[in-house]
Amino acid sequence: MRRFPGRSLAASADSVWVPLASGALVLVAGAMTLATGAPWLFAALGPTAVLIAANPGHRTTRFHTVVLGHVTALLCGWLALLLMGAGTTPSLFGTHTIPVARIWASAAAIAVTTLVQPSLKAYHPPSAATALLITLGAYGTSWKNLGSMVGGVLVVALVGEWLQRVRLAETKRAGAAA
């Protein structure tokens, strides 16, 4: 592999690996969206894809952490909507304003998500966006929507786990050869 001037071989490899792996993870979720007609690809998966590609083997990118982190955030967002009575208020995306109840639900969802995730060993910062997508009304809380979002998380986490193993093995081989 040709090195970029002033960069180590590892940094040069990362400058290729991270965009390709991130893009591949988004494409997988996007393909599932096209195949099913349901929102398997959603905004919070972008940061998850980048985190997985850029930090293989890190505790925040493990399959368990990614899946449980997003599911926890999704559930916390849904519960916050219910408890704050915000589920029937207009969505940010329909009115371009945020009702006070949705602001409170958003704050509660983020607070509870970040409170619960460490005890589950599932601290995954990009999942905070999942909670906000629910509380701000980007996605309805129908079982179909929630199920497809979980499906998107599962497919990104599964393919991401495989990509991490490939990257870590490649890095280990390169280190042994050096």
* Longest CA–CA separation in the chain, Å: 60
Query: 43: buried, middle or exposed (CB in 10 Å: 19+, 13-18, 0-12)?
Result: middle
pLDDT one-digit tens code per residue, 45-102:
999 999 999 999 999 999 999 999 999 999 999 999 999 999 888 888 888 889 999 9
CA distance 23 to 19: 6
pLDDT tens per residue, range 133-154: 999 998 888 888 899 999 999 9
**Does this model's pTM top 0.85?**
yes
- What are the boundaries of each domain within the chain? 39-168
CB 21 within 8 A of CB 163: yes
The tally of CA atoms less than 13 A away on the side-chain side of residue 89 is 21
How far is it, in rounded angstroms, from Cα 25 to Cα 128?
19
